[in-house]
Amino acid sequence: MEDLKTFLLDEVLLFESDTLSQGTEKVLQQVRREKPAQPVIYVSSGTSSIIAGSEKTYSAIESYISDNEPSAGLVKVGCTGPSNFEPLVCIQIPGKNKLFYRNITEEKVEPLLNGVFHNDISTDDLAGQTGTKGFELWPGMPFMDELPFFTHQKRIILSNCGCYDPESIEEYIARGGYRSYVKAIRHYTFEEVCDIIERSGLRGRSGGGYLTGLKWKHALNTTSNARYLICNAKESDPGAFTDRTILESDPHRLIEGIAIASYAIGASNAIVFMRSGSDHAKNRLQKAIDRAREYGLFGHNIFSSGYNLDIVIKIEPGAFVCGEETALINTLEGKRGMPQLKPPYPTTAGLFGKPTVINNVETLMNVPLIMQNGPEWFRTLGTENSPGTKVFAVAGKGRISGVVEVEMGTSIRSILEDIADGIHEGKEFKAIQLGGASGSFITSENLDLKIDYEELKEKGIGMGAGGFVIIDENTCMVDLVRYYMEFIRNESCGKCIPCREGTGRMLEILESVIRKPLNEESGTTLERFKGVMQLETIASVMKDTSLCGLGQTAPNPFISALKNFRDEFEEHIFDRKCRANICRGLRSFSIDVDKCTGCTACAAKCPVNAIYGTRLQPFFIVEEKCIGCGICFDICKFSAINVK
Amino acid sequence: MSTDLDIILKKYKQGKREDLIPILQEIQEDAGYLSEEAIVKVGSFLGMSTTKIFGLATFYDRFRFFPSGKVQIRICHGTSCFLNGSQSIINKIKEETGVIPGQTTRDGNFSYEIVSCMGGCHNGPLINVNGEYHAHIKAEQLPELIKKLKYVIEND
């Protein structure tokens, strides 16, 4: 191990020429396990794989190997992308293409490996093969990169995910990693690095889309004795998991990105701000940082360049608003995570009053690639104004969910229909929710919109940080809007009144829309209708007067739902009907006379005593009294309660 | 307890304001919650008033002020799990345990919290019981699961 370290340092990282010698390449090939002499088995091990049971699969394979094939290698890799395929197992027999098997749970391990090691390759659960030059093909088996999920993607940031052991720095270096960082600190000045990134046109991927190079220059040009770089990995939007997947699958590239960015702004302290509860990602990142430190990639006077850098991980203590730049800085300073008025922007006075650059994970992942391939290469990707790619966490009611990466300019329809393979059969598509709790809905008319900052902005849609939730007819839009509003209400920090009071009021009105009115007489329908009219006013006030992005964007889901699904709101108000049958308060219940046994269970539990009857005779529900809580429905053992 | 606290505080020799959150996080990781005694001690260590620390700790929702239950359940309430019906899971757990999120049952057995996304969107609704994931969970499976957990605790 020590030998390999010295070799990688001397012959690869500190090697003066860009092209490495043939002998070096040969060693690197071995480190990359490109031409293994023994079979190698790769098991995915991200959070989504662990949830699907990959830990058990791993130990089953481990014990199989030690019993039957002690020479075979076993490697834990990151997530490849499609969550449906988890636990994903990849098998490489020497001299042949890699084979990917999907959904390999514990019990499937033995039959699968028995087949593989005795030349009886099973095609059940086979996802596909991947080919490299000089390897024997598996006849008649599909190729992984020809699967619709992969063909429509452009995987640059995710190119390493699922391919290498994220805990091995050696493998990352053998894949060309850390070379652009070492080159940057030895041969480029701060300004040159900023220039390269600015010329590439890289824009911040957290939603705002500000030019990254320009942001760096602002910080660099502010006179100060210390500067900070913060990597914002606090992805806490409900339904977003791109950052976590990246951290788990390719932590070293992120570290390289952080290191280059820190160098570019002359910062000697970098902080990774992570969400709490993702211990797996944190441990991976911590290990990666420790390994990089062992290699001398951080510390004092790195490779005699005179540059010092230290990277630390901080865990957020749990507040959604901390994702906002100034609130994040307050949290790091040990204060309440409340946003502050801007300007001054963090690039002039940020953490401890020093210039601070805050970039998110995806932005920083692009940096090593741009340094490696040049800004011109980056410009060839994506659209004129939004070069590069965008990573999305596709989830919800699509047939395939997972982390995907598409070139900017790809249509939303392509992500929905090609990559996520549409929605489940027999269901009708309703909308796509882009950008988490403060994003907007995209309906079928707008599906041909392209992923591009300007094009989406024109339609009033924010790109968001990467949430892409597919919604089908079984979802009630009013209830979904209420869910987002409840989330924001809970997360509002309470500093400014429009957000603190506005979210509470909006939630109240939305709840009254989905609740059954207690009495019908006093024009409650009109009141509820007035409520929705007021919602629009509150929404516009919040948009104009809230202090930070959280409050300004909080009404977005409501505004776009009202625009696109007005009929659903009206149905809830006037007809007291929820077409998706989700809003419990609006459902009406009745008892099936044939199925009811008269057990009295429902009548005993009914909170308003709306169920009457005689024991062992069919019961009935008095509709005027029913508040639609649904307890009877849950409690009935004979499915005698009908819902309408 | 107090000796552990001293060990933690010793790590932060300077005792600056920005160390406050990491100190509280470390105490919570060690003891499971922030006790009054611990907050007072941190206050005198950092030269800050106890109310200020308490005010800060209550602002963030990851800090607990009561010991967590022997079984800690985390329920995912991200958008994807919500679409797949996590609300009914939350209601059921509330009904079964009789406490609200963040509280612990009187016998000290159960506590639960709601988290925004655990990263298993394809497997929702998803819950995590003492570190073990239960995917595609249904509300009607919960009473039995809780009964089983109770049995395990009582016979331990």
pLDDT in tens, A29-72: 888 888 888 999 999 998 889 999 999 999 999 999 999 888 89
Q: How confident is the model at residue A505 (pLDDT cuts 50, 70, 90)?
A: very high
**What's the whole-number mean pLDDT along residues A3-26?**
88
Return the pLDDT at A521. Answer: 67
* Interchain contact, B121 vs A84, CB within 8 Å: no
* Interchain contact, A487 vs B55, CB within 8 Å: no
Find the closest chain B residue to A330 by CA distance: B18
Q: Provide the chain B residues 21-40 that lie in CB contact (below 8 A) with chain A.
A: 21-22, 24-25
Report how far residue A198's alpha carbon sits from residue B70's, in angstroms, rounded to the nearest whole number: 53
User: Which of A45, A51, A479 would you mutate first to test chain B, the one with the most B CBs within 10 A?
Assistant: A51
CATH code for the part of the protein at B2-59 = 1.10.10
Return the pLDDT at A166. Answer: 93
* Interchain contact, A318 vs B18, CB within 8 Å: no
Q: How confident is the model at residue B55 (pLDDT cuts 50, 70, 90)?
A: very high
Q: How far apart are the first and last CA of chain B?
A: 24
Tell me the chain B residues in contact with residue A47 when contact means C-beta distances shorter than 8 Å: 118-120
**What's the whole-number mean pLDDT along residues A526-551?**
89
Number of residues that this document lists for chain A:
644
Q: Which of A351, A315, A235 is nearest to B24 (CA)?
A: A315
Least confident of A117-126, A398-407, A447-456, A497-506: A117-126
Render pLDDT for A289-331 as a digit per residue (tens, 0 to 9): 999 999 999 999 999 999 999 999 999 998 888 888 999 999 9
The reply to whether A397 touches chain B by the CB within 8 Å rule is yes
* Interchain contact, B121 vs A401, CB within 8 Å: yes
The reply to whether B62 touches chain A by the CB within 8 Å rule is yes
Tell me the chain B residues in contact with residue A352 when contact means C-beta distances shorter than 8 Å: 18
| Residue A634 confidence (pLDDT) above 60 | yes
CATH top-level class for B71-154? Answer: alpha beta
Out of B60, B79, B119, the one facing A319 most closely (by C-beta) is B60
Query: Where in chain B are the domains?
Result: 2-59, 71-154
- Beta strands (DSSP E) in A275-342 are 310-315
Tell me the chain B residues in contact with residue A226 when contact means C-beta distances shorter than 8 Å: none
The reply to whether B116 touches chain A by the CB within 8 Å rule is yes
Return the pLDDT at A520. Answer: 65
Place of tokens 């655990």: B118
Number of residues that this document lists for chain B:
156
Return the pLDDT at A574. Answer: 84
* Interchain contact, A487 vs B116, CB within 8 Å: yes
Find the closest chain A residue to B80 by CA distance: A396
Q: How confident is the model at residue A194 (pLDDT cuts 50, 70, 90)?
A: very high
CB A475 within 8 A of CB A239: no
Give me the sign of the Cα torsion angle B88, B89, B94, B96: positive
Q: Which residues contact A68 (CB under 8 A, 6 or more apart)?
A: A113, A117
**Domains defined for chain A, CATH in brackets:** 30-151 (3.40.30.10), 177-379 (3.40.50.11540), 389-418+428-467 (3.10.20.600), 477-575 (1.20.1440.230), 587-643 (3.30.70.20)
* Interchain contact, A48 vs B120, CB within 8 Å: yes
**What's the whole-number mean pLDDT along residues A562-570?**
92
Q: What is the value of ipTM here, to two decimals?
A: 0.92
pTM reported for the whole predicted model: 0.92
C-alpha distances in Å from residue A344, one per residue of A143, A219, A326, A351, B150: 53, 12, 10, 12, 55
**What's the whole-number mean pLDDT along residues A594-603?**
88
Q: How confident is the model at residue A255 (pLDDT cuts 50, 70, 90)?
A: very high
* Nearest-5° Cα angle at A222, A217 to A228: 80
* Interchain contact, A277 vs B78, CB within 8 Å: no
CB A361 within 8 A of CB A231: yes
Q: Mapped to the 3 state alphabet, what secondary structure does chain B carry?
A: CHHHHHHHHHHCCCCCHHHHHHHHHHHHHHHCCCCHHHHHHHHHHHCCCHHHHHHHHHHCCCCCCCCCCCEEEEEECCHHHHHCCHHHHHHHHHHHHCCCCCCECCCCCEEEEEECCCCCHHHCCCEEECCEEECCCCHHHHHHHHHHHHHHHHCC
Tokens of B88: 């009914």
Report how far residue A627's alpha carbon sits from residue A580's, in angstroms, rounded to the nearest whole number: 18
Return the pLDDT at B117. Answer: 83
**What's the whole-number mean pLDDT along residues A622-628?**
80
Return the pLDDT at A602. Answer: 87
- Phi, then psi, of A77 in degrees rounded to 5: -120, 175
Mean pLDDT of chain A: 90
The DSSP output letter for A26 is: H
Place of tokens 């089983």: B148
| Residue A540 confidence (pLDDT) above 80 | yes
Q: Provide the chain A residues 444-503 that lie in CB contact (below 8 A) with chain B.
A: 467, 469, 471, 474-475, 480, 483, 487, 493
* Nearest-5° Cα angle at A402, A401 to A405: 120
Out of A236, A318, A487, the one facing B60 most closely (by C-beta) is A318
Please tell me the distance in Å from B70's CA to the nearest CA on chain A.
18
